[in-house]
Amino acid sequence: MATTLTIIDSTGKETGNTLDIQESWLETEKGEQAVKDSVVAFLAGLRSGTACTKTKGLVSGGGAKPYRQKGTGRARQGSSRSPVHRGGGIVFGPQPRSYAKKVNSKVAKLALRRAFSDRLAENDVILVDKLGDVLDGNAPKTKKFVQFLKAVKAGDNALVLDAPVDLNVELASNNLPLVLVMSAISVNPYLMLRFKKVVITKAGLEALGERLS
């Protein structure tokens, strides 16, 4: 695994500088289960949990007893909205709920270290000096951002990390469905593994390192 990354500029050329990856940022022996738990928790948190069925008490109508208690030869009924009737309530149907799962901070940090280490081992991390040069002046231009991704050999499926994130850079990437620009201090294991390439600025890597160490 490369513990030293070469810094390139927005045109893909080497700047002549490198940045060392500290051992405290990496984890290669353990953390697989932590990664799984963190990814499951993140995806579970995205679920809306708004599925809802009406119980007998929520279905409209059925206030009057459908027929008298005795003398009809039929089973006694107290409401036409009973679950045994068509149009009645649903028994044990889904109700609004939260699917959120808790992951403690140590597990989350271990998972992020393992995910980052795996991306480094696969040579999928691209370290750039800064993102300011990808803008056309101060205007966000998707064309310029696409040219930048091509120059650094990130393709059209990439996670771009910076610290802090320039709003114009983020706007320039909004029309690219497989590209996400975000702050390095907010990335999670799922997003670290979701994209084919991880493009990170020098400032972003230093901020990420503070989280990992």
Taking the domains of the chain in order of start, what are their residue ranges?
4-28+103-212, 57-90
Is residue 79 within 8 Å of 65, Cβ to Cβ? yes
Q: pTM for the full model?
A: 0.83
Identity of the amino acid at 29: E
Q: Which residue has the tokens 């109508």?
A: 61
pLDDT digits (tens, 9 = 90+) for 18-31: 998 999 999 999 99
Is residue 21 within 8 Å of 5, Cβ to Cβ? yes
Beta-strand ranges (E) seen in 55-137 are 125-128
- Nearest-angstrom CA–CA distance, 196 and 171: 21
pLDDT digits (tens, 9 = 90+) for 183-201: 999 999 999 999 999 999 9
- Nearest-angstrom CA–CA distance, 204 and 18: 14
Is residue 128 within 8 Å of 10, Cβ to Cβ? yes
Top CATH class, 4-28+103-212: alpha beta
